[in-house]
Structure 1
């Protein structure tokens, strides 16, 4: 019968390689407290420090047969704890950045969506007001603004003078400004 608390660390590792549960239990008893203190100093959070130590020991058991240490057992365990904490910190940083990015998107997304809805409403109101213009004025205005035709091109197309076309466009703009001025205020400022 082996007295495990008198066995050297190197020998415990060899026993662990052969799936000796008592050797594993001795390693756990020897190092759990000091590894917890090490983890706690780095994390300043008891539960996270406990979790890190538990994960290190769980991995030690699952990798026991492949374990081939080139350093002392204590150095290996300290490095494992440190690396696990670095991974944890990096993951927290990524999570924090993701959450921040998501919050920014949500807050800006609401504004963008709200703005798009307002623009759509305003466009519908403008189209309604254009449709309410007198027929000839509407036709001239639509050729000017939607068809991007010059006053001369509209005059030639409709058989009107350029002066009449210019007057029709200006009158249409005046009427739309009067009617849409209140709507524009209501949509954008309420």
Structure 2
């Protein structure tokens, strides 16, 4: 199973191969756990959330549309689970502090009430789809920089070294990418609270 591609694993999982499902679990659990824990900050809740996600994946294996890129699909699935987690449990002080730091780093100047995140609206799934569509439509270099920064946790200097460009160019590309995302989602929330929250989840 270890030598199978993700697409081959998906097909076997759809065919009810529990061995393939265990390999999928082994291959992606660690990275997903780190991402979820960085947002939740509680190991038991993180474990429970991921277990629930993988159980759902197995139970709905014939219904789910995995797509061609399993890592990205699993991360998206996790974003939905995290969103549900915070909608149900709300933000504790640690979450609020972490989110505030992120929002400040995003240069979000509009004031907002963090308690609003407990009542995040039903547009979330549409909003996430719009964001993903906007990322796909970015120019190649901008998308490459954004994905390295948001999805793979590269620093500005690491991206500059990897792509052979100046750090200032990286920052400019990131600024333009964020501006593009804000423009594509402006109809959902004029104060961009949902957008900032989604970006915090997926960063």
The structure whose RCO (Cα within 8 Å, separation 6+) is larger is 2
Q: TM-score range by the shorter chain?
A: 0.3 to 0.5
Query: Which structure's CA Rg is the greater one?
Result: 1
TM-score, length of structure 2 as denominator length: 0.43
Greater per-residue helix proportion: 1
